[in-house]
């Protein structure tokens, strides 16, 4: 039984000044966590109970799915990460240290290498596969900017699993098993989530999905369809290409002088204002213009290449989307010096005439999927102060390919059903990922198949942010009064508030009830503080967020207690004699 009179807890009346995000504010105010280090939190008794409840649910669901738990050290030597290339690839993101002999160690940011090596150590036959193993471990990442309390920390707990299969079909099955296990886990945690397609990254076109808790303070932007079940990370959205248009009979392209039109806005104003340039039936808009942007790609080997991107002028380039597609290369700015080296590029008036591997600039030219055959554009004429009108794709220019580079806007059509997409924010609470053979190849994880032939094992990697889930649950369910835990996660089933003078019978009655509830199998927290005013107790109960609040007070004179639902605020007076049965029913349904 949790007794408020002795619990190591101090609730705060006011918001801590360093907490902005609601879950962070309330977890600190409610005495669940305290900041101990930049990006590091201490769990206080109530917080630790909640954390362990989340961990237990995750563990039970993994076990139920047939996955086996192991546990690695967090402190690891450099070598395995050296072999996989991540000792350097991880850059500043990893905490490194040396032992007394000067050998390099790291605090593991993730454990792919170790799992791979462990399986290599023990298994060597296809008969041993498939295998699913997981751990619940503290991870360390040297985040540039920890923020939002538990949502982004430098030390956090993650459940990471790995699947090992002999072939792609096996991997697909393992992936699906994990997918199902994750769905039941998050459902049981009472955590609303959206599954979005994510970029599988540079290591092969395998599937990857993120589980996002849709909360405003989340760091990930995703889209979902207002009509169908489509949802995706903005990086992964595939824009729907319009139908191609017949080229026959389309107006010819013509080059026009358009002085002083350095921006899309000024260009649109000018072509609408001039009688000789007006569209025959309507006003031109920014969407009629083709904006061309040149960037540089920095490749992992340190070399650079130029890339030109063409997209409708009413769209900005979303660098995250570009990087998701050109990865592992990084996108960097095209500088004046680069322009100087390529005289075919006329700054401000770059057009498809100069772009493309076979044109003057020799720069690879990729366009937005909306730029399909037969679409006509107002775009740069590659001469200072001049634009070309009705430059038609497929007739007047042919790009080198397509790229998803444009910003996604709310209201854009869904790639699946065509209805409007909406944009939302979420926090990543899980990620499932068909990893493939990258680590198995790098670390030499092979088994013999039926024919005695060596096969590289294919892997899946699956993560749930356990400590982050605590914050995500808090963030999703809180209200203006405080936290609202789902029952299975809550530090208790019932929070008993005792009011009245110490001389009144409410104290003993509450004690009796608490004992009876505990005997009946419920987890009980009782506010047995003497001399604390009722207002404080009510407010604390609401702040702490136990799903059922029981008040033993005034009603006792009539033989009743009050049962209150934390979330809905609904109150019921219940005869003392029926209290245990009533509460059992409330708590068990």
Residue nearer to RNA on the CB measure, 275 or 530: 530
Q: Which residue lies nearer to RNA by CB, 35 or 188? A: 35
248: phi > 0 → left, psi -120 to 50 → alpha, else beta; which?
beta
Phi and psi at 50, nearest 5°, equal -60, -45
Q: Taking the complex as a whole, how short is the minimal distance between the CB of residue 379 and RNA, in angstroms?
A: 27
Q: Which is nearer to RNA, 35 or 179 (CB)?
A: 35
> Which is nearer to RNA, 396 or 540 (by Cβ)?
540
Q: Are 430 and 210 in contact (CB under 8 A)?
A: yes
Distance between CA 248 and CA 541 in Å, rounded? 74
Following CA atoms 47, 50, 53, 58 in sequence, which dihedral angle do they give, to the nearest 10 degrees?
A: -90
How far is the C-alpha of 62 from the C-alpha of 185, rounded, in Å?
A: 8
Min dist. Cβ of residue 163 to RNA (A): 15
The radius of gyration computed from the CA coordinates of the chain, to the nearest angstrom, equals: 30
Residue 248 burial (10 A CB sphere; 0-12, 13-18, 19+):
exposed
Q: For residues 126 and 449, is the Cβ–Cβ distance under 8 A?
A: yes
Nearer to RNA among residue 348 and residue 559 (C-beta): 559
Q: By C-beta, is 35 or 78 nearer to RNA?
A: 35
User: Between 133 and 319, whose beta carbon lies closer to RNA?
Assistant: 319
How would you list the strands of the sheet with 571-575, edge to edge?
2-3, 524-527, 494-498, 548-552, 560-565, 571-575
* Interface residues toward RNA, by CB under 7 A: 10-21, 35, 37-39, 93, 109-110, 141, 143-148, 152, 158, 160, 201, 219, 319-320, 323, 431, 433, 463, 465, 481, 499-502, 531, 533-536, 538-540, 542-543, 551-556, 562, 564
* Min CB(20)–RNA separation in Å: 4
Nearest C-alpha neighbor of 408 from the set 226, 240, 197, 211: 240
Nearer to RNA, 431 or 523 (CB): 431
In the complex, what is the shortest distance from the CB of residue 538 to RNA, in angstroms, rounded to a whole number?
Answer: 3
DSSP SS3 for 197: strand
Give me the least distance between CB of 12 and RNA, in Å please: 5
CB atoms within 10 A of CB 297: 19
Between 236 and 556, name the residue whose CB sits nearer to RNA. Answer: 556
CA geometry: angle 470, 562, 539, nearest 5 deg:
45
> How many whole angstroms separate alpha carbon 155 and alpha carbon 74?
11
What is the Cα–Cα distance from 152 to 243, expressed in whole angstroms? 43
Nearer to RNA, 72 or 123 (CB): 72
Q: Is the Cβ of residue 101 or residue 145 nearer to RNA in the bound state?
A: 145
Q: Tell me how far CA of residue 559 lies from CA of 47, 505, 553, 573, in angstroms.
A: 35, 11, 10, 10
> Is 487 within 8 Å of 587 (Cβ atoms)?
yes
Give the integer Cα–Cα distance in Å for 452 and 441: 18
Nearest approach, Cβ of 207 to RNA (angstroms)? Answer: 14
- Alpha carbons 388 and 398: distance in angstroms, whole number: 15
Q: Is 379 in a helix, a strand, or coil?
A: strand
Task: Say whether 164 sits in a helix, a strand or coil.
Answer: strand
CB of 535 to RNA, least distance (A): 2
Q: Is 371:378 a contact under the CB 8 Å cutoff? A: no
Backbone φ, ψ for residue 328 (5° rounding)? -80, 5
The least distance separating RNA from the CB of residue 120, rounded to whole angstroms, comes to: 20
CA 193 to chain centroid:
10
Shorter beta-carbon distance to RNA: residue 465 or 491 = 465
Toward RNA, which CB reaches closer, 225 or 574? 574
């Amino acid at each position: 039984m949790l007794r408020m009179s002795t619990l190591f807890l101090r609730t705060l009346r006011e918001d801590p000044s360093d907490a902005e995000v609601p879950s962070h504010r309330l977890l600190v105010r409610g005495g669940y966590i305290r900041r101990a280090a930049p990006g590091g939190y201490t769990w206080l008794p109530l917080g630790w109970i909640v954390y362990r409840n989340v961990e237990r649910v995750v563990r039970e669901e993994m076990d139920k799915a047939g996955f086996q738990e192991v546990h690695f050290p967090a402190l690891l030597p450099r070598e395995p990460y050296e072999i996989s290339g991540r000792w350097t690839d991880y850059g500043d993101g990893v905490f490194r240290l040396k032992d007394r002999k000067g050998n390099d160690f790291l605090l593991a940011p993730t454990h792919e290498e170790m799992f791979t090596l462990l399986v290599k150590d023990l298994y060597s036959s296809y008969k041993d596969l498939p295998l699913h193993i997981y751990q619940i471990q503290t991870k360390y990442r040297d985040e540039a900017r920890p923020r939002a309390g538990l949502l982004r920390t430098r030390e956090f707990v993650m459940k990471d699993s790995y699947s090992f299969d002999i072939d792609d079909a096996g991997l697909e099955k393992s992936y699906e098993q994990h997918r199902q296990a994750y769905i039941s886990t998050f459902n049981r945690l009472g955590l609303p989530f959206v599954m979005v397609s994510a970029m599988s990254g540079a290591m092969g076109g395998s599937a990857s999905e993120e589980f996002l808790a849709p909360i405003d303070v989340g760091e990930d932007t995703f889209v979902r369809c207002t009509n169908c079940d489509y949802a995706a990370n903005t990086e992964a959205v595939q824009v729907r290409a319009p139908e191609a248009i017949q080229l026959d009979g389309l107006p010819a392209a013509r080059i026009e002088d358009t002085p002083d039109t350095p921006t899309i806005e000024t260009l649109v104003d000018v072509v609408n204002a001039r009688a000789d340039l007006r569209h025959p039936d309507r006003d031109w808009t920014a969407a009629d213009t083709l904006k061309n942007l040149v960037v540089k790609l920095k490749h992992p080997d340190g070399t650079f290449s130029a890339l030109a991107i063409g997209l409708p002028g009413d769209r900005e380039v979303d660098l995250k989307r570009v990087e998701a597609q050109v990865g592992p290369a990084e996108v960097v700015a095209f500088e004046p010096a680069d322009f100087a080296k390529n005289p075919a590029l006329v700054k401000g008036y770059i057009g498809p005439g100069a772009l493309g591997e076979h044109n003057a600039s020799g720069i690879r030219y990729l366009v937005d999927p909306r730029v399909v055959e037969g679409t006509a554009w107002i775009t740069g004429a590659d001469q200072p102060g001049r634009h070309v009108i009705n430059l038609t794709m497929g007739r007047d220019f042919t790009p080198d390919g397509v790229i998803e580079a444009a910003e996604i806007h709310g209201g854009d059509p869904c790639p699946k059903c065509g209805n409007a997409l909406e944009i939302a924010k979420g926090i990543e609470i899980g990620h499932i990922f068909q990893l493939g053979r990258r680590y198995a190849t790098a670390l030499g994880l092979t088994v013999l198949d039926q024919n005695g032939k060596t096969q590289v094992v294919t892997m899946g990697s699956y993560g749930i942010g356990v400590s982050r889930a605590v914050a995500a649950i808090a963030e999703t369910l809180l209200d203006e009064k405080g936290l609202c835990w789902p029952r299975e996660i809550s530090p208790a089933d019932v929070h008993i508030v005792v009011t009245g003078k110490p001389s009144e019978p409410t104290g003993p009655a509450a004690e009796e009830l608490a004992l009876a509830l505990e005997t009946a199998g419920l987890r009980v927290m009782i506010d047995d503080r003497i001399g604390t005013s009722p207002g404080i107790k009510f407010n604390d109960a609401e702040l702490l967020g136990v799903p059922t609040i029981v008040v033993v007070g005034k009603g006792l004179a009539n033989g009743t207690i009050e049962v209150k639902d934390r979330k809905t605020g609904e109150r019921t007076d219940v005869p003392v004699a029926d209290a245990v049965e009533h509460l059992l029913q409330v708590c068990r349904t």
